């Protein structure tokens, strides 16, 4: 395995070129037309793969069969960006105002492309590998869209695997966890409608900003007063948008919520309480409300057997000191959870070292882990398809 890492390290300049292109040209979830075209072109330049595009809108599946083996493995990487401005002073910055790769999906796609090239060149396995390049992870749309488009019926796999970089974890170290590893997320939009008016005459208006502000505070009690202390959940109001001028009382206010839970029972209870508080708070201020519920969330649950198998392969490849076999769980979410509902598999983390956390304007993906992540995909494919 050391020879594979060494070989991939020799290709780091090419990986960096792919990464920097993706990083400079980010696209938002389910709008990744140019990103998908670039990934497709790199795959065609590599050669050897049967490539299907447009799966779940912009998704790509690249398949390579070697030998007569009947087993098939799926490897998934995401490639969408976030609606955030990147911090100034970074060496490679987004060229799209208001959009940036601040979660490392550009790095994830690069790792899988690097593994694709190595696997096509060496063909040191017996069976079929399918590379799944997925759009729309940040909005929880891409995974369900690919599944609805027949992902696993059109491109069958025995198991499917995913990977994500995590700042704060030791750089280049892998972390596996059996069972629940990430939370279910429900992304909701709340619209509160009052009566607009002049800022000098609040008595002639019904202010949705006041109603929305009261709702924000009320939502803080959902977890603190209802979730058992031993359990985990979070309700975040990530956006509150209303009005354009200080002397105008807005007609509408929009709140965008991220609701995260780790058990079906807590999810049902939390969502019910949010619905109740939204209705009651709006009514108490004389407003009306509209709740737009997003794609239902799912807890990411790793299959124990596949997790142990992947961890053992990683230990053989990198050594016990570079692998944690029961790593941390997070209240962050992943739409890879929906793929794990369809096929067994596991989702692991690779440490990104001491950077700002993902979704922060100053987050930086450490390109030193590109060859390491690619080596994991190669090792997993060769180990699974012996």
46 plus 162 within the same structural domain: yes
Q: At what angle do helices 105-122 and 33-46 cross, to 10 degrees?
A: 20
Looking at the fold, whether 88 and 140 belong to one and the same domain comes out as yes
Does 69 share its domain with 167?
yes
For the chain, state the CA radius of gyration: 23
* CATH code of the domain in which 198 resides: 3.30.70.360
Identify whether the C-beta of residue 379 lies closer than 8 Å to the C-beta of residue 4: yes
Q: In what order do the strands lie in the sheet with 233-241?
A: 233-241, 252-261, 184-193, 288-293
Is 21 known to sit in a ligand binding site?
no
**Residue finishing a domain among 249, 266, 293:** 293
Report whether 118 belongs to an annotated binding site. Answer: no
Read off the tokens for 263. 């058990």
Residues 157 and 196 in one domain: no
194 and 59 in a single domain? The answer is no
The per-residue pLDDT for range 99-129, each reduced to its tens digit, is: 999 999 999 999 999 999 999 999 999 999 9
What domain range is 372 assigned to? 2-180+299-384
**164 is annotated as contributing to ligand binding:** yes
| Residue 359 counted as an annotated binding residue | yes
Residues 38 and 176 in one domain: yes
pTM of the model: 0.94
Neighbours of 341 (CB within 10 A): 14
| Count of domains for the chain | 2
Dihedral over alpha carbons 116, 120, 126, 128 (to 10 degrees): 50
Q: Consult the annotation and say whether 105 binds a ligand.
A: yes
Of all residues in the chain, what percent carry a pLDDT higher than 90?
97
* Predicted confidence (pLDDT) per residue in 283-318, tens digit: 999 999 999 999 999 999 999 999 999 999 999 999
- Could you tell me if 24 and 134 lie in one domain? yes
* Tokens 């920097």 belong to residue: 20
User: How does DSSP assign 237-248, residue by residue?
Assistant: EEEEE--S-TTE
Which residues fall within 8 angstroms of residue 306, CB to CB, at 6 or more apart? 159, 161, 344, 345, 346
Q: Do 246 and 370 share a domain, yes or no?
A: no
Instruction: Say whether both 236 and 374 belong to one domain.
Output: no
Q: For 160-201, how does the pLDDT look when each residue is reduced to its tens digit (9 = 90+)?
A: 999 999 999 999 999 999 999 999 999 999 999 999 999 999
Q: Are 42 and 113 in contact (CB under 8 A)?
A: yes
The whole-number pLDDT of residue 1 equals 53
Task: Write the CATH number for 68.
Answer: 3.40.630.10
Same domain, 114 and 211: no
């Amino acid at each position: 395995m050391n020879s594979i890492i060494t070989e991939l390290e020799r290709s780091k300049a090419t990986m960096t070129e792919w990464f920097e292109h993706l990083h400079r040209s980010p696209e938002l979830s389910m709008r990744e037309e140019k990103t998908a075209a670039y990934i497709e072109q790199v795959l065609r330049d590599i050669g050897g793969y049967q490539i299907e595009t447009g799966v779940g809108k912009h998704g790509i599946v690249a398949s390579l069969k070697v030998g007569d083996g009947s087993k098939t493995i799926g490897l998934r990487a995401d490639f969408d960006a976030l609606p955030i401005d990147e911090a100034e002073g970074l060496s490679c910055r987004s060229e799209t105002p208001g959009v940036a790769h601040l979660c490392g999906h550009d790095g994830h796609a690069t790792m899988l492309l690097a593994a694709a090239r190595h696997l096509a060149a060496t063909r040191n396995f017996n069976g079929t590998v399918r590379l799944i390049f997925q759009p729309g992870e940040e909005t929880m749309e891409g995974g369900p869209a690919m599944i609805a488009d027949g992902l696993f019926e059109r491109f069958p796999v025995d198991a499917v695997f995913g990977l994500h970089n995590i700042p704060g974890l030791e750089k280049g170290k892998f972390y596996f966890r059996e069972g629940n590893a990430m939370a279910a997320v429900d992304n909701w939009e709340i619209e509160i409608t009052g009566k607009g008016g002049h800022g000098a005459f609040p008595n002639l208006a019904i202010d949705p900003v006041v109603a929305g502000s009261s709702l924000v505070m009320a939502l803080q009690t959902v977890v603190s007063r209802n979730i058992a202390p031993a359990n985990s959940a979070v309700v975040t109001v990530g956006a509150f948008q209303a009005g354009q001028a200080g002397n105008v009382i807005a007609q509408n206010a929009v709140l965008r919520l991220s609701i995260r839970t780790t058990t079906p029972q807590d999810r049902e209870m939390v969502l019910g309480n949010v619905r109740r508080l939204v209705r009651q708070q709006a009514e108490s201020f004389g407003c009306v409300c509209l709740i737009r519920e997003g794609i239902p969330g799912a807890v990411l649950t790793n299959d124990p057997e596949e997790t142990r198998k992947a961890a053992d392969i990683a230990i053989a490849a990198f050594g016990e000191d570079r692998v944690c076999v029961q790593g941390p769980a997070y209240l962050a979410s992943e739409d890879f959870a929906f793929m794990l509902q369809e096929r067994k598999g596991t989702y692991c983390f690779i440490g990104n070292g001491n950077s700002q956390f993902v979704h922060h304007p100053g987050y930086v993906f450490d390109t030193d882990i590109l060859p390491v992540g690619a080596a994991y995909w190669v090792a997993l494919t060769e180990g699974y398809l012996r």
